Amino acid sequence: MTREVKNIMTPKLIFATHNQKKTAEFTAILSSLLQTDIPKGYVISAKDAGLEDVVENGVTFAENARIKAEHAFNATGIPSVGDDSGLMVRVMNGCPGIFSARWAGMHYSGSADSERLFAERTDSGLLLAQLADIPLQHRGAKFSCTMHLTLSADKYVVQTGEVHGAIATAKSGANGFGYDPIFAPFNQNPLNISTTTIQHTSVKDLLSDPNVRLFADFEPREKDAISHRYEAMKRLAGEFFGLMSKE
C-alpha cells in the first residue's frame, strides 16, 4: 500500500555528498523503503545545495558521516544525512575501509573522469593486483555504511548497515559504481528474478560458482534491495517518513 506524502516544493532533506550516483541510489532506496515516489526536489545533494565539498578527516565511517551531515545542516538549517561507506577486505585487516574512495591516491567523486581513473587505478589496477595471489577462501569482504542523520542542532540519529560477500578475481558487469565490479554478495538472488538459486555457505563456494554475479551484474533494484546503504537506511526509515510528513 502506497503511503500518502505531500508534494514538497522546497528541499526537506539534504544528502551530504557531491557524488550524484550515490544521490540517485539514495533517492531510489528511500522511495522503495517509504513505498512512495519521492517528489522532485525533496532530496537534494550537497552539490545541488551549492555547498563546498567538506574535508573528510575522520578516522571512522561514523566520524566522516557526522562531519558531512553537520556541515550541510549548519550551512542550510535543513535536515541532512551524511554517509560514509567502504569496502573492508578480511585478509587486508579491513582495508581499504575509510580510504576506499582514495585507495589509489585519488578521490572518487562519481564524475566521469573520476569513474574512469578509479576503474583503471583502483579496482582493476590496485586492489585486484594486491589480492592476485590470495586463495579464494581468504577473499572474504564486506561493504559497510554508516549514516548520520542530523535533524536539528541537538538531535541526530546514527545507523550502520553491512553486506557480506567476497572479492572476485576479475571484474564483471556494467552497472553500479566504485568497487561494484569486483564484489560478489552472498545473496545472489535478492528479488527472485535470477536463475541463480544456489545458497552459498562459504567464500570459496561463492567464488567457485561459474555463475556467480558481482554487484555490477545486478540490476539496480536488486542491489538496492540488499546493499549496505539500504541496510543503514532501513534503520532510519521512521525518521525519514517523519520528515516527509511535515508541512
DSSP for 151-182, written as a single string: EETTEEEEEEEEEEEEE-SS---SSS-TTGGG
Which one, of 159, 138, 56, 69, lies nearest residue 98 by Cα? 56
Q: Are 66 and 72 in contact (CB under 8 A)?
A: no
Q: What pLDDT was estimated at residue 4?
A: 39
Does the structure show a pLDDT above 70 at 156?
Answer: yes
Is residue 180 part of the annotated active site? The answer reads no
* Chain segment 48-71, per-residue pLDDT in tens: 999 999 999 999 999 999 999 999
Give Cβ neighbours of residue 74 (< 8 Å, ≥ 6 apart): none
* Chain segment 86-143, per-residue pLDDT in tens: 999 999 999 999 999 888 765 555 555 555 555 555 555 689 989 999 999 999 999 9
Give Cβ neighbours of residue 240 (< 8 Å, ≥ 6 apart): 13, 30, 33, 34, 149, 233
Q: What pLDDT was estimated at residue 115?
A: 55
Q: How far is CA 132 from CA 103, 215, 216, in A?
A: 17, 20, 20
Mean pLDDT of the chain: 87
Q: What is the largest CA-CA distance in the chain?
A: 57
Q: What pLDDT was estimated at residue 2?
A: 38
- Edge-first strand listing for the sheet containing 183-185: 43-45, 13-15, 80-89, 140-152, 155-167, 183-185
CATH number of this structure's domain 13-244: 3.90.950.10
Q: What pLDDT was estimated at residue 7?
A: 42
What is the rounded distance in angstroms from the CA atom of residue 231 to the CA atom of residue 195? 24
The kind and range of the H/E element at 141 are strand 140-152
Identified catalytic residue from 37, 48, 53, 84:
84
Q: What pLDDT was estimated at residue 120?
A: 53
Partners of 163 in the beta sheet? 143
Which grid coordinates are listed for 205?
A: 563456494
Does the structure show a pLDDT above 80 at 245?
Answer: no
Give Cβ neighbours of residue 116 (< 8 Å, ≥ 6 apart): none
What is the rounded distance in angstroms from the CA atom of residue 136 to the CA atom of residue 168? 8
What's this model's pTM, rounded to 2 decimal places? Answer: 0.85
